[in-house]
Amino acid sequence: MSTSTSTDQHDPGQAPETATEAATATAEKAKLQRHFGRADIFFFLVCTLFGIDGLGTLATQGGAGFSWLLVCLVLFAVPSAMILAELGAAYTDEGGPYVWTRMAFGRAAGAVNNFFYWVTNPVWMGGTLVATAASGLLVFFGTGGDATSKALLYGLGIPFIWAGVLFAVLSFRVGKWIATIGAYARFALMGLFLVVIALYAAQHGVHGIGAGDFAPSYSSFVALVPLILFSMVGFELPSAAGEEMENAAEDVPAGIAKSVITTGLLYGLPVLGILLVLPADQATGLAGFPDALKQALTVLGGEVHTGADGTVTSTLSGLGLVAGWAMGILIALVAFTSGLTWIMGSDRTLAVSCYDGAGPRSLGVFSSRFGTPLRVNVLSGLVSTVVLVATVEITSGDAYKLFTAALSLAISTTLISYLGIFPAALVLRRRDPDTPRPYRAPALPLLTFLSCAAIVFCTVQVLFPGLGDSWFAGDYLPEQWTHGERYTFLLTELVPLVLFVALGLWFWWAGRAHTRRLGAPLSPVEQGPHPAG
């Protein structure tokens, strides 16, 4: 059974919950259902951490993409995984990422930070993931990844979003199997990709990349590291369902350890494959992986054509065409389950924050039947739909611009939220040393510094690509954007960020207002962050 206890029992720096808050939390937690075992955590993390929306972008920088991937794995993924393994094993409450931030820095910080953590996912699902699924399907079922239209994006995107909401509403007893299917889809997709890459190399050879191509540069750092960090966060997500786990204290560290290794392999091997099959000047951030896969599948049936301008196109036939259809479906399934697992986890953190007094009480409700935050699930679907409509209309159905703008916003909001989560481990270890820690991260101050420094630098570069060298120009120019559009790009990032801060503060105010209406006194932490010590 889980070792979960109440959040305030862990936090000696604040007063006990009010009777109203305690009763509310108890009533909502009574609806939770335990269906989350060690294997489920691992498969959930595989879906959370590995997505294909960034594989093509990594390949656009040639061997440097692979080099930066290894650097980030060692200096960011491993340190952050150890930090989150300690938090997830020691503090096993439902809504873990919110709970940790709230305990360390108070409800105001917890509310704003958690809003960023949550809102990233409907933005990501309604923008980037819809574009990724559309591109993968079009490469194999249509005329190519650039043939998207408004009608197609809406026709695919709306069912894509609301099917995700439906599965998120269902209990982990059902939802965990969707995540398991998504994990196996990743294994199948990457396994088949590596097989056809080997067959293609044996038949046609490879275009070749020299040792010098792997040399990293500052421009490739700015272009790739924010995306890589975005791809390597999420080790904490299963802890959003901490009280739905069978044994969080033991299973969380074990699941995280296995997922670090698996994630490194799932990203590293395909990137090498793309570099070997598809030259960097032919890769695009949106369709790079499907294009490389399609070209490799011609060994099973099909042809590769090189135009007068050097453009390479692939046509599949026979077994290659059938295999391509299967690959297109797998790509869409991978994109779908990426969004689903994040929605399942982040929606729980938002619901917990709302019944904890850091958001509107009406959203802090779990379904008695399913044990899931149904109201927040529906809210996520609505936000995703709005994002889909806004990005499609703003970009006039241009899938490439939709992909780039939505991905940049998702990266920035995601990375910002970890500025509250990562330092919480260090603060809580100092302020709450008596809580048992089944896993203790070594050199925690150094791990925290590495993780947070990387987050801060990359967030700045997402908003101002190339700042300090050549902002929004040359190698720092986002794909499909021009230098003259730099302020348009900046506004598409800054305006939502400012709005999200305001909404996070409103959530905190709404939680305080609800407590006051009930006549319950505010605890010190509800009045704002309390002093450390």
The answer as to whether 205 is a domain residue is yes
Q: CA 80, 82, 83 angle in degrees (round to 5)?
A: 65
Sign, Cα dihedral of 234, 293, 330, 162? positive
- What SS3 state is found at 305? strand
Exposure of 203 by Cβ count < 10 A (0-12 exposed, 13-18 middle, 19+ buried)? exposed
Q: Which two tokens stand for residue 110?
A: 């917890």
Reduce the DSSP state of residue 246 to 3 states and report it: coil
- Phi, psi (deg, nearest 5) at residue 316: -100, 150
Structure tokens at 486: 């730099």
CA-based end-to-end distance of the chain: 33
Give the model's pLDDT for residue 533: 32
Q: Quick one: pLDDT at residue 400?
A: 59
Task: Give domain status of residue 16, yes or no.
Answer: yes
Nearest to 191 by CA among 376, 13, 323: 323
Give the Cα separation of 35 and 257 in Å (integer): 21
SS3 368: coil
Lookup: tokens for 193: 């990709």
Asked whether residue 533 is assigned to any structural domain, the reply reads no
Read off the amino acid at residue 503: L
Q: Which two tokens stand for residue 230?
A: 């975005």
State the pLDDT at residue 183: 95
Q: Hey, what are 442's tokens?
A: 């070594």
Rounded to whole angstroms, how far apart are CA atoms 356 and 108?
12
Q: How many structural domains are present in the chain? A: 1
Please state, in angstroms and as integers, the Cα–Cα distance from residue 265 to each residue in 190, 199, 471, following that order. 10, 20, 33
Q: Which residues of the chain register pLDDT less than 70?
A: 1-24, 54, 56-57, 59-62, 143-148, 207-212, 277-288, 309-310, 394-406, 479, 514-533
Rounded CA-CA distance 192/142 in Å is 21
Q: Please, where are the H alpha helices in 125-247?
A: 130-141, 150-169, 172-204, 218-231
**Residue 245: strand pairing partners:** 36
Q: Is residue 238 part of a domain?
A: yes
> What whole-number distance in Å separates Cα of residue 263 and Cα of residue 325?
25
Q: How far apart are CA 273 and CA 59, in angstroms?
A: 9
Answer yes or no: is 376 within a domain: yes
Encode pLDDT of 313-325 as tens digits: 889 999 999 999 9
Do 459 and 222 touch, CB atoms closer than 8 A?
no
- For residue 391, the model assigns a pLDDT of 76
**Contact yes or no for 170/35 (Cβ under 8 A):** no
C-alpha–C-alpha distance, residues 240 and 346, integer Å? 7
Domain, as residue range, for 358: 7-527
Nearest residue to 40 via CA among 352, 284, 259: 259
CATH code, 66 = 1.20.1740.10
Separation of alpha carbons 146 and 128, rounded Å: 15
Domain assignment present for 186: yes
Tell me how far apart the alpha carbons of residues 223 and 480 are, in angstroms, rounded to a whole number: 14
Q: How far apart are CA 33 and CA 263, in angstroms?
A: 28
385 CB neighbour count, 10 Å cutoff: 19
Which residues touch 533 (CB under 8 Å, ≥6 apart)?
13, 431
Q: What is the pLDDT of residue 21?
A: 58
Joined tokens for residue 267: 């990203």
Q: Would you say residue 220 lies in a domain? A: yes
Residue 312 pairs in a beta bridge with 306
For 44, the enclosing helix (H) or strand (E) is helix 38-49
CA angle 439, 441, 447 (to 5 degrees): 160
What single-letter DSSP state applies at residue 94? Answer: B
Cα–Cα nearest to 229, from 492, 456, 495, 524: 456
User: 314: which strand partners?
Assistant: 304
Could you give the maximum distance between any two Cα atoms of the chain, in Å? 76
**Within a domain: residue 294?**
yes
Q: How far apart are CA 342 and CA 238, in angstroms?
A: 9
> What's the pTM value of the predicted model, to 2 decimals?
0.85
d(CA 429, CA 178): 36
Q: Which residue has the tokens 């993409």?
A: 65
- Report how far residue 301's alpha carbon sits from residue 284's, in angstroms, rounded to the nearest whole number: 24
> What is the C-alpha R_g of the chain?
23
Amino acid at site 82: M
Pick the closest to residue 168 from 370, 10, 383 (CA basis): 370
